[in-house]
Amino acid sequence: MSRRGVKIALHYLVLLLIAASTVLPFVWMLFTSLHGQRAELPTMANLFSPAGGYHFDNYRYVLTYGELPVWRFAVNSVIVTTGVVLFQLALCSLAAFGFARLHFRGRNSIFFLFLLTMMIPGQVLIVPLFLMVQKLGWLDSYWGLIIPYQYLSTAFGTFLLRQFFVTIPHSLDEAARLDGCSELGVFWHVILPSSKPALATVAAFAFIWTWTDFYWALLASSSRTMRPLEVGLSAFRDSYGMTCWSLQMTAAVIVLVPVLLVFLALQRYFVRGVVTSGIKG
């Protein structure tokens, strides 16, 4: 093989090794979840051939087991995440439109303030937010899980959308205005339809951040029926500890699959979003 060929092969090899290190744990997780409940932790030797065949019913078991209702955790996660994503799309797109298209006093200063809030670490907010939410009576309810902890999404989403809106040609606006559209009309009929990729990006980030949120979800939910998947999963781990790896991994796979699906479908947007914030930020 030519020297160049060797280099390319080596190149791919390194990349493959790194990819393997990323993928291997997930493969292990998946196959462990198919082992029997009483089985020992699988070794490399028997990972792919569990005693008693593949136990797909682990999934049914984990989802429906009454004491730790994983299906319920999943429902909670879906409700909370959908709520957040819709809320974010509404809030951020409206605000971004205002910052991008309209002129008003203090516009740049307020936008700068938005960006500044991204610097605030979550730890500073969590304790006072908890007390505030407690006073509102929102603890252990969907309100408390959805509304309070979205400051990062809001600031980031507004920033992202504003950067995008600015690139939309004004000629489209003018055309709509000539047709008699108000600002809201321009927003609804011109800007939003042209912004699907950017909106998808905001939705993708909001989805991931909310679905995988642990700290706030841990505090805002107390009773078992309110727990979202992340928190329920840690309770799962507490329950099984070192005793039953296969069921733990089953629960972990259940938690991970939606996120992976969303990611694989929207990965373009993740990359775009990360890049926009990095390069232009």
Partner 1 sequence: MILAAAGCRDEREPTEIVLRVTDWGSPVVESDFMRIEREILEGFEQQQHRAGRKVRVQKEQIPGPGQYAPKLTMMYVAGCAPDVVHLDASCGALFIDNGMLMDLAPLMARDPSFDRSIYFENVLNITRRGEAVYAVPLDFTPMMMYYNRKLFQQAGVPFPRNGWSWEDFLTTCKALTVMPPGAKMPTQYGFNFENVLPFWIPLLWTGGGDVLSPDGRRASGYLDGQATVEAVQFLADLILKHRVAPSIAERKILGGDAFLNGKAAMDLKGHWTLIDYHAPDRQLDVGVVGLPTRTGKPVTIIYVTGIAISRSTRHADLAWEYLKYMTSAQVQIKRVASGLAISGNREAADFYRARDDQDNPIEAEFHQAVEYARPAWGATVENFPMCEAFGQEMMEDILYGAATVPEATRRAAQYMDAVLAP
Partner 2 sequence: MISDRPRNNWRGYLFIAPATIYLAVFSLIPVAFAAYLSLHRWHLLKSDHPFVGWGNYTALAANPLFRGAVWNTLVYAMASVPLGVVSALVVAMLVSRPLKVIGVFRALYYIPAVCSQVALSMVWIWILLPEKGLISYGIRFLNLLAETVGSIGGMDLSMFHIDLSTDLLAMRGWAMAALVLMSMWIGLGPRMVIFIAGLQNIPETLYEAADLDGCNRWQRFWYVTLPQLAPTMLFVTVTTTIAAFQLFTPVYMMTQGGPQRTTDVVSFHIFQEAWRKYEAGMASAQSYVLFAMILVVAVFQIALMRKGLDREEAAQ
- Sole binder of partner 1 in the list 70, 226, 249, 252 (CB under 8 A): 226
Nearest distance from residue 115's CB to partner 1, in Å?
32
For partner 2, which residue of 4, 5, 66, 103 counts as binding (CB under 8 A)? 103
Residues 140-159 that bind partner 1 (CB under 8 A): 140-143
- Is 139 an interacting residue with respect to partner 2 (CB under 8 A)? no
User: Using CB under 8 A, which of 147, 168, 181, 192 touches partner 2?
Assistant: 147
Residue 136 near partner 2 by CB under 8 A: no
Nearer to partner 2 among residue 69 and residue 269 (C-beta): 269
Q: 79 touches which of partner 2, partner 1, none (CB within 5 to 8 A by kind)?
A: partner 1
**What is the largest distance, in Å, between two alpha-carbon atoms of the chain?**
72
Task: Return the range that interacts with partner 2 (CB under 8 A); candidates 55-63, 66-74, 193-201, 252-260.
Answer: 252-260
Write out the binding residues for partner 1, residues 37-66 only, by CB under 8 A. 65
CB of 98 to partner 2, least distance (A): 3
